Amino acid sequence: MKVLSFLKPYRIPMAAALSLMLVELAVELWQPLLMARIIDEGIMKNDQGTVLRLGGLMLGISFLAFAAGIINSFFAAYASQNFGFDLRKSLFEKVQGFSFANFNKFPPASLITRMTNDVNQLQMTLFMCLRIALRAPLLVLGGVGMAVAVNIKLALAFILVIPPLLVFLVWIMKKSAGLFKMVQERLDHVNGVMRENLSGIRLIRAYSRGAYEADRFSRSNKELMDKTVNALRATETAIPILLFFMNLSVLAVLWFGNIDIAAGTVSVGEVVAIVNYTARITMAFSMFSWIIMVLSRAQASSGRIGDVLGAEADLTSGGERLDKAEASGGKIEFNHVSFSYPDTNVEVLKNIGFTAHPGETVAVLGATGSGKSSLFQLIPRLYDPTKGNVAVDGKDVRKLEFDHLRKQIGYVPQEALLFTGSIRENLAWGKSDASQEEMVKAAKDAQIHDTIDSLPDKYETLLGQKGVNLSGGQKQRLSIARALIKKPRILLLDDSTSALDLKTEAKLLKAIRQYQCTTLIITQKISTAKEADQILLMEEGRIIAQGKHEELLAGSRLYQEIYESQLGLEETS
């Protein structure tokens, strides 16, 4: 199993923890023997010196066991916590490399459960194993050995029960691993409903759907409960059954013992001894089965973690960079590009071809759902085209290093996504070492500086997740500033000015023009499109017209319609 290989670096602390556990066990076994000697050599012989000497020895070794136990704690905690840390790290790094197709398979809520809850399960299991796991099998083995030494024939009466019980335990373990997997899946679901409710809280409030959502949550919560109850009950059935058969075997020992005593082949003392060993083995056995149950739960979790680690990121970085000469300033080419989203078969882009020359502004127009945003996402390689290719400065983007490619692109998506933290931290996403001047410059160009300046904490103002304490327009402008601070060679504005009023928008577009970058802008406004060097008019995934404003006005029926619709709007005012 892939997850087990994460134990490798901790072989030494694990071995240390296990040996310390053996020390404890040895002390535990030695003590009754010492006790016997205190009685035989001390008390029976009326020798107070021996009583005290052996008593002192007993005390000494119990401190030894104590010390071993304490040190074991450190090693066990060290190994398990680091194991958990490493797992989380690998999972997180893996997820950072995921493509959006991967995210379709592992929805966020599930990834979150796997990275916290499942890792915790494994971590707890390892800690427990390093502290007590060896004990149970050793006690069983020891007990069996002693019983065999006493009388092999009688011992067989219960030893024969052990293999079928082991088979039974393994069977239950397999079964409950499956049940626990379902528990974790239900947990994903609960997590998912919760997440959706948090992000949609405003809508839910607006429509007074609290009760409806509570009902939905309650249903998925109930499923989680039912699955948990199932899994736990299945595992808890094991111990009573196990105990019953072990106890029956004691009765068998008594029965055969009685016959053998009558035959004179065995002494009463031997029968008593074997009965005692059986009792001990039974104790150890129930502990053993408990451990197996914990392991079965861990098995479910480790499977889920393994699934994530084993997933192939289907979008991988190319190895090339553009050298100085090639990096001519942000030329973008689309060559016969078709695209459909992963796991769907609807083509949202069909045979797209166009070139945006360095420094040009290209406006992309089209009805909603015509493929404008999809087209944008191919440039920073959030997705790869299904046919054709996208090239930046003459090089297919698939050949370029992710970092290198994306560093040149300032992308402002439609929904302004901000992160918890200060405004400064959010702007620093664009350039981590940006100076105050650079921040102010970008903020001014994005027409957001005045707003920031009017906030009590200015650039240090803390934003909630998704920037909820800003208005839609403010969020958009902040995310534009975040892109501008990169000084990108390619700027992608995905209808990013939609929530801005016309005055602010005009100022913003003017400021952007000073940046020497190739700009692609999705817009609905003819007024914005008119200023562009080139207009792409899209319909149902195709570019149906392409050219300057005047050319389109003369040649495209749809463009004329759009123009007239807006003209109409303005005229009636």
Partner 1 sequence: MIQVKNAQNKSSMAGTVKRIWVYLSFHKALLTGVFAMVILSSALGLLGPFLIGRTIDTHLAAGSTEGLGLVLAGLAIVYLFYSVSLWLQNFWMIGIAQETVFSMRTELFTKLQRLPIRFFDKKQYGELMSRVTNDMENVSSTLNSSVIQIFSSVLTLAGTLAVMLWLSPLLTLVTMMIVPIMFLGMKWITSRTGRLYKEQQRNLGDLNGFIEETVSGQKIIKTFSQEEKVIQEFLVKSDHLKQAGYWAQVYTGFIPKLMNMLNNLSFTLVAAAGGVFALKGMISIGTIVIFTEYARQFTRPLNDLSNQFNTLLSAVAGAERVFDILDEGEEGADEKEALRLSGIKGEVQFQDVSFSYEKDGDTVRSLSFRAGQGESVALVGPTGAGKSTIINLITRFYEPDSGTILIDGRDSKTITRESLRRQMGFVLQDSFLFSGTIRDNIRYGRLDASDQEVEEAAAAANAYSFIKRLPDGFDTILSQEGAGISQGQKQLLSIARAILADPAILILDEATSSIDTITELKIQEALGKLMKGRTTFIIAHRLNTIHQADQILVIENGMLLEKGTHKSLLQKQGFYHDLYKNQFKRDTAKAL
Tokens of 79: 């190994």
Q: How far is the CB of 362 from partner 1 (least distance, A)?
A: 17
Q: Of 344, 340, 281, nearest to 145 (Cα)?
A: 281
Find the radius of gyration of the CA atoms of the chain: 36
Q: Shortest Cβ distance from residue 364 to partner 1 (Å)?
A: 11
Angle among Cα 530, 536, 542 to the nearest 5 degrees reads: 155
Instruction: Count CB neighbours of 1 within 10 A.
Output: 10
- What is the C-alpha to C-alpha distance for residues 169 and 477, in angstroms, rounded to an integer? 62
Shortest distance, position 543 Cβ to partner 1, whole Å:
15
Smallest gap, in angstroms, from Cβ of residue 73 to partner 1? 3
Nearest to 253 by CA among 152, 370, 356: 152
For residue 572, give Cα distances in angstroms to 525, 526, 563, 564. 17, 17, 14, 12
Indicate the residue among 190 and 391 with the shorter CB distance to partner 1.
Answer: 190
Q: Residue 148: which H helix or E strand, with range? A: helix 135-150
Within a 13 Å sphere around the CA of 174, how many CA atoms are in the beta-carbon half? 5
- Residue 393 gets the label, from left (phi > 0), alpha (psi -120 to 50) or beta, of left
Q: Are strands 518-522 and 490-494 parallel, antiparallel or unpaired?
A: parallel
Tell me which residue of 296, 370, 381, 384 sits closest to 541, measured CA to CA.
Answer: 370
What is the closest distance, in whole angstroms, from the C-beta atom of residue 22 to partner 1 in the complex? 14
Distances 304 to 83, 98, 187, 514 between C-alpha atoms, Å = 16, 16, 12, 51
DSSP annotation of 38: I
φ, ψ dihedrals at 428, nearest 5°: -65, -10
Give Cβ neighbours of residue 538 (< 8 Å, ≥ 6 apart): 364, 365, 366, 367, 370, 371, 372, 375, 544
Q: How far is the CB of 34 from partner 1 (least distance, A)?
A: 8
Q: Which is nearer to partner 1, 44 or 325 (CB)?
A: 44
Instruction: Give the integer Cα–Cα distance in Å for 394 and 86.
Output: 41
